[in-house]
Structure 1
Amino acid sequence: MTRVLPRTNFHSSQLIRCLAELDLLEGAEPAGDFADDLGQWLHFTDAITLSTVLDSGMANMPAQSPVLHQATGVRLGAEFERTRTLMVNSITKSCAGGSSAIKLPLPPDLEATYSPYRRFYEAHQRDMALSVEPLRVNLRNALAKASPSLRKLAELDVMMDKFLRERENRLLARVPLLLQKRFDTLTAAHQDQLARSAQPDSQAAWIHPDGWLTRFCQTLQTLLLAEAELRLQPSAGLLEAFNQQKAHE
């Protein structure tokens, strides 16, 4: 049986909560009405196109047989879980300094700078985008073949992705920039502690379980995992819609 994915609230993104808890968000506005917020993201020409899709009739096509629908749901669920597992493993292994295509930067000397970690985060963002895209396309294709109502949902997802992707990319590009505040805070606290203790600095102290660099890498991993969850939400919604139609038949 295909596992039912948990529902997520639009305003309760784990990424937003993590950024807020780390005090990395400045001037964040309280969540408003979803429709009003969405309207601010869409140009009026986008709204016209979206309205056309919503108002168009549903093609006269037979729904899939229950057996085929169930088999497709199992396949899609497995693909979703495989994609999520690959993304999570890539993040956790690289943030722990393990074998990974994206290598965690380790300062060659005692002059730590943030730039390598920003590039590290951005490399994972590109990797996540490449992982999620084929999954979402496959889910749309499956919905388009399942029933008239799911086909319309797939068409709407294409339109929403087209309209919102640029703004989403701009917002997500801010995360590694916001993360620098955490890096600067930890390095400043480390230097202050050294000044008070009159102890020499060392990389061994940085990567100690309580060291500033270890704690920073933990934050890095937390934000990347939260962003992975956020990037998977549209695909999770499509998969849930596919499975719910079968449950409601």
Structure 2
Amino acid sequence: MTRDLPRPNFHSSQLIRCLAELDLLEGAEPAGDFADELGQWMHFTDAIALSSVLESGMAKVPAQSPALREATGARLVAEFERIRAFMVNSITKSCAPTGGNTAIKLPLPLEPEVSYAPYRRFYEAHQRDMELSVEPLRVNLRAALAQASPRLRKLAELDVVMEKFLRERESRLLARVPRLLQKRFDAQYAAHQEQLAASGQPDNPASWMHPGGWLARFCQTLQTLLLAEAELRLQPSAGLLEAFNQQKDHE
């Protein structure tokens, strides 16, 4: 028995909802028809590659025993959960003030200069880490699907083509997130300065990361967006894994 995985929603990912709630989406347009939008993203060479896969016949795949399918399914679920746990733990530990021994270190506040640049680099380092974690998982899932059945082999082939022409657009859009986040950083620091001016109290950078401090609240927002992006990056793999389990359950 495998656990149910979260179903992806093209127009309502957790990342988009978080950005919208933080008022960080600039010039967002209402969601249109998925097929129409997908067609606008595709170059004619992408359309040719996709058409070629869709029109090709079903390749023969040697039948697998129920025991082998069950073992493969368990292995794939374990690998998916391991990668997801690694990404979540890496984000949550590094975003904590006392993150301990983490590969990506949360920047310490520097005074008198308050700069967003270290936090942008921190976010981008996690993005690179997530990409390196997800890519081999997706490759392994495709390999398993290609050996499971003719239909799943076709799905794996389609996933290869879809990733190729969506990757550049996805990279450009996700690269905007740490830049959009600067708006939140600047607004919270400005609000902190206004509060100090109104109260007449001196600033104390040592308290910025205390519970309720402006920088602690910003780092919580940063963590929320990183976790939402991790979920988004895992969605294609989650879809492949769900397809494998559905095929297995229906046979």
Same-fold call, TM cutoff 0.5: yes
Q: Which amino acid aligns with 2:140?
A: N
Consecutive unaligned residues of structure 2, counting only runs of 5 or more, are: none
Alignment partner, residue 118 of structure 2: 116
Instruction: Determine if the alignment matches structure 1 residue 62 to structure 2 residue 62.
Output: yes
Q: Is the 8 A contact 2:134 2:233 kept in 1?
A: yes
Distance in 2 between residues matched to 1:20 and 1:41, nearest whole Å: 23
Alignment partner, residue 216 of structure 1: 218
Alignment partner, residue 37 of structure 2: 37
The answer to which of 56-65 and 217-226 deviates more is 56-65
Cα distance, 1:141 vs structure 2: 0.5
TM-score normalised according to structure 2 size: 0.97
Aligned runs of 1:185-200 on 2, under 5 Å? Answer: 185-200=187-202
Q: Is the 8 A contact 1:139 1:238 kept in 2?
A: yes
1:89-122 residue CA offsets vs partner (Å, 9 max, x unmatched) = 0000000031210000012324210000000000
Alignment partner, residue 209 of structure 2: 207
Alignment partner, residue 79 of structure 1: 79
Alignment partner, residue 19 of structure 2: 19
Q: Is the 8 A contact 2:207 2:213 kept in 1?
A: yes
Aligned runs of 1:78-227 on 2, under 5 Å? Answer: 78-97=78-97, 98-99=99-100, 100-227=102-229
Cα distance, 1:196 vs structure 2: 0.6
Cα distance, 1:180 vs structure 2: 0.2
Distance in 2 between residues matched to 1:63 and 1:150, nearest whole Å: 12
Q: Is the 8 A contact 2:120 2:179 kept in 1?
A: yes
SS of corresponding position for 1:146: coil
The answer to which of 3-12 and 183-192 deviates more is 3-12
Q: Is the 8 A contact 2:61 2:148 kept in 1?
A: no
Q: Is the 8 A contact 1:76 1:239 kept in 2?
A: yes
Runs of 4 or more above 3 Å deviation: none
Number of residues of Structure 1 aligned to a counterpart in Structure 2: 249
Over aligned residue pairs, what C-alpha RMSD do you find? 0.9
1:121-163 residue CA offsets vs partner (Å, 9 max, x unmatched) = 0000000000001100100000011111101111111111111
Q: Which amino acid aligns with 1:50?
A: L
Cα distance, 1:63 vs structure 2: 2.9
Distance in 2 between residues matched to 1:181 and 1:245, nearest whole Å: 45
Q: Is the 8 A contact 2:15 2:232 kept in 1?
A: yes
Cα distance, 1:6 vs structure 2: 2.5
Counting aligned pairs with the same residue, the percent is 81
Distance in 1 between residues matched to 2:38 and 2:249, nearest whole Å: 29
